[in-house]
Amino acid sequence: MATTPEQGNKAVRALAYPFPDGHRLDVPPQFAELRAKCPVQRVELPYGGAGWLVTRQAEVKTVLGDSRFSRAASVQADIPRTQEWPNPGGDILSLDPPEHARVRRLISGAFSRRNIERWRPRIEELVGEMVAGMRTAGSPVDLVDSLSMPLPITVICEMLGVPAADQHFFRRFSELVFSGAGVPAEDVEAATDALMSYLAEHIARHRAEPRDDLLSELIAARDEDESRLSEEELVTLGVTILAAGHETTANAIANSVLTLLAEDLWTSMARHPERVGTAVEELLRFIPLGGSESLPRIATEDVTLGGVTVRAGEAVFPAMVSANFDENVFADPQTLDLDRAHNPHLAFGFGPHFCPGAQLARTEIRTALAALLREFPDLRLAVPLTELPWREATALIRGPRHLPVAWHH
């Protein structure tokens, strides 16, 4: 029986959220408990009060896919949040349908399956060069510096049409943008401004001299019909693609290699390269790249969800990481099963904001893993697991800062 708002929403004690889940790739144990006992849990955030944490896949999909839950309503609002500052908005993730589709349509062609297939040879070529570079450098090398970071950066720069040679500049700033609650608001704001000016400069150059790249395409869309994209939206979209296009995939590659090595699965994978596609889906499900945090949605009307009533105006946090371990969806979810056949994970989200870069990310991760398994079948960690340097504990995207690896042959 669904509890009334008065009974249910007041009777339950709010848990402090986010959970202190450290900075490694472990999943907070509270998720399993909540899925079993209280799939829509009252939680207290560091700023803006209390909201709801949603932990089972069915309800997470409702929050992500149902138009009664809004991202736009989180803009500039004093809603429960992990960061001191409210969501400034202006980006694609802060728009609701049908408005959202106006911006989304502009990038869907560039990241479509067909277009990413056109990029595959270039991705393979880059991976080949980087793996050859690792051989030349000799064992041991840092996988982050030699492959997992430069690969997605180079690809997204070439797609957008900005020089990959600038990566040392924007790598630092995009890491700050994804830094989460651990960094002062002014630093994140300064980093965002620096990336915005950088993109604005390139937009001016591309306007003067259009080329065959995504930035020129977006500029043309904006200049042909200003109702499709404002100038600020154009710049912000460029920054989002540049930052989201590499931080995520880079850490996903490093985390995947690390997990296969740490779980002693590298050698058996190297013997069966045909398993890479299925294995990558399982690694995406199993590794909590984004930690336990997720972007809140605001209920636009009262909604009954998982037995409680979420009131209009309340914030709801869809825990995609928890949904990826839902016992109702996945057989033996705590096991990393590289041959898992049925794997409807939510690593790329769900609904209107489903990651447009999913196909690109998959292609990069698969190509990188396949080449590393082929070239270095005896790869191993060059330092003990406990000595790996990690990104900040509060980072919105988790992964090792460096990943020293070694090989014999």
Interface with ligand HEM (CB under 6 A): 64, 92-93, 104, 111, 240-241, 244-245, 248-249, 252, 289, 294-295, 320, 347-349, 353, 355-357, 360-361
| Residue reference for tokens 């924007």 | 170
309 or 347: CB nearest ligand HEM: 347
Q: Where are the beta strands (DSSP E) in 104-189?
A: 141-142
d(CA 404, CA 401): 10
d(CA 161, CA 156): 8
Q: How many Cα atoms occupy the beta-carbon half-sphere of 28 within 13 Å?
A: 23
**Least spacing, CB of residue 339 vs ligand HEM, in Å:** 21
**Least spacing, CB of residue 92 vs ligand HEM, in Å:** 4
Classified as helix, coil or strand, 390 is: strand
Instruction: For residue 281, count CB atoms less than 10 angstroms from its CB and return exposed for 0-12, middle for 13-18, buried for 19 or more.
Output: buried
9 or 369: CB nearest ligand HEM: 369
- Using the 8-state DSSP alphabet, how is residue 112 labeled? S
**CA distance readout (Å), 140 to 134, 255, 264:** 9, 18, 19
9 or 289: CB nearest ligand HEM: 289
Sequence-ordered list of residues with C-beta below 8 angstroms from that of 106, at least 6 positions apart, any chain? 217, 218, 221, 228, 229, 237
**Least spacing, CB of residue 61 vs ligand HEM, in Å:** 11
Question: What are the percentages of helix, strand and coil residues in the chain, rounded to 5?
Answer: 50, 10, 40
**Least spacing, CB of residue 103 vs ligand HEM, in Å:** 8
Which residue number has the CB closest to ligand HEM? 357
| Residue reference for tokens 């911006």 | 103
92 or 405: CB nearest ligand HEM: 92
**Contact present, 241 and 107 (Cβ < 8 Å):** yes
309 or 359: CB nearest ligand HEM: 359
**Least spacing, CB of residue 139 vs ligand HEM, in Å:** 27
9 or 391: CB nearest ligand HEM: 391
**CA distance readout (Å), 326 to 55, 227, 246, 332, 350:** 8, 42, 28, 9, 15
34 or 360: CB nearest ligand HEM: 360
Q: Residue 314's CB: how many other CB atoms inside 10 A? A: 22
333 or 349: CB nearest ligand HEM: 349
88 or 307: CB nearest ligand HEM: 88
d(CA 178, CA 360): 20
d(CA 337, CA 340): 5
d(CA 156, CA 214): 10
